[in-house]
Structure 1
Amino acid sequence: MTALQRITKEMQDLADDPLGQFSVGPVGTDLFHCQATVMGPRGSPYEGGLFDLSVDFPKSYPFQPPQIKFKTPIYHMNVGPYGDICLDILDKNWSPALSISKVLLVICVLMTDPNPDDPLRFNLRDEYKKDVSVYENNARQWTRQHAM
């Protein structure tokens, strides 16, 4: 199966059985360049926010992971200031058995449960470790400013 066939199948699977937490689709007619929108998970500081992400599939997909970045600014220790996401399944733990829907579900989990052991923004990790409520209040405020 070619990369294009695999991406087409994954998009069709999502169209046939959409998941409520996110949507994803091509930008224009280029299936290798997509945009996803993730709803801030319930009970998280991001609840009520809508977060746009770019999803770029390599020509070698699924043998190489897609490149996914937040386009909507997010206050999160595992997301860099330019939207890069620190997530092992997008790097060393990628597997061709993963799909874009599984990756986006893991990103939703990361929004609920940040990983202080692997931050991109150490200042936010330090804030989180010092006082979770301050971190979460800042994330809520950031969400209101940028994602609502």
Structure 2
Amino acid sequence: MSLPKRIIKETERLVADPAPGISAAPHDDNLRYFDVTIQGPDGSPFKDGVFRLELFLPEEYPMAPPKVRFLTKIYHPNIDKLGRICLDILKDKWSPALQIRTVLLSIQALLSSPNPDDPLAADIAKHYKENEQDAIRVSREWTERYAQ
């Protein structure tokens, strides 16, 4: 399977010059499939957590966004039980100018600023809206339980 030059270049850059708190490595048997870890950002309820994700580049990439999901359980209004992520650049705001690196940095930023007004997990969003302190406490507990 030959890869487009762009994917090869992006992969080389990710490995040689990883973004802070993020690592991404392609599988040997499928270079479109990446194992990703993102460290929970300081100042967020996910601090000290290490979250595992999978990222897959579809055939249409970069005209279509990568498919990304959390493998580590997380209590976050924009991430559902299946690990799917509600993030505009993974849907209608995708542009071929964006890169894997940009996507991973955006996901890391989403951990710092949950958006209960655009939820994927309605129950968690409701919790964040009705009692943010308690929702943050639960997010911290899940981080300790599942991401360490």
TM over 0.5: yes
**Shift of residue 19 of structure 1?**
1.5
Residues 65, 90 of structure 1: 8 Å contact kept? yes
Q: Which residue of 2 aligns with 1:39?
A: 39
Residues 3, 60 of structure 1: 8 Å contact kept? no
**Shift of residue 98 of structure 1?**
0.3
Deviates more, 1:106-115 or 1:12-21: 12-21
Amino acid at match of 1:147: A
**Does residue 15 in structure 1 map to residue 15 in structure 2?**
yes
Unaligned runs of 5+ in 1: none
Whole-Å Cα distance in 1 between the matches of residues 99 and 24 of structure 2? 12
**Shift of residue 118 of structure 1?**
1.0
- Deviations 1:25-81, CA, capped at 9 Å, x for gaps: 112231111111000111111111110101010111100000000000111010010
TM-score normalised over the length of structure 2 = 0.95
TM-score normalised over the length of structure 1 = 0.95
Amino acid at match of 1:60: E
> Secondary structure in 1 aligned to 2:33?
strand
Whole-Å Cα distance in 2 between the matches of residues 33 and 89 of structure 1? 19
Whole-Å Cα distance in 1 between the matches of residues 98 and 141 of structure 2? 33
Identity among equivalent pairs (%):
41
Q: Which residue of 1 aligns with 2:144?
A: 144
> Secondary structure in 2 aligned to 1:80?
coil
Aligned Cα root-mean-square deviation (Å): 1.3
Q: Report matched runs for 1:123-138 at 5 Å.
A: 123-138=123-138
Whole-Å Cα distance in 2 between the matches of residues 3 and 135 of structure 1? 43
Residues 3, 61 of structure 1: 8 Å contact kept? no
Aligned residues: 147
Whole-Å Cα distance in 2 between the matches of residues 134 and 31 of structure 1? 41
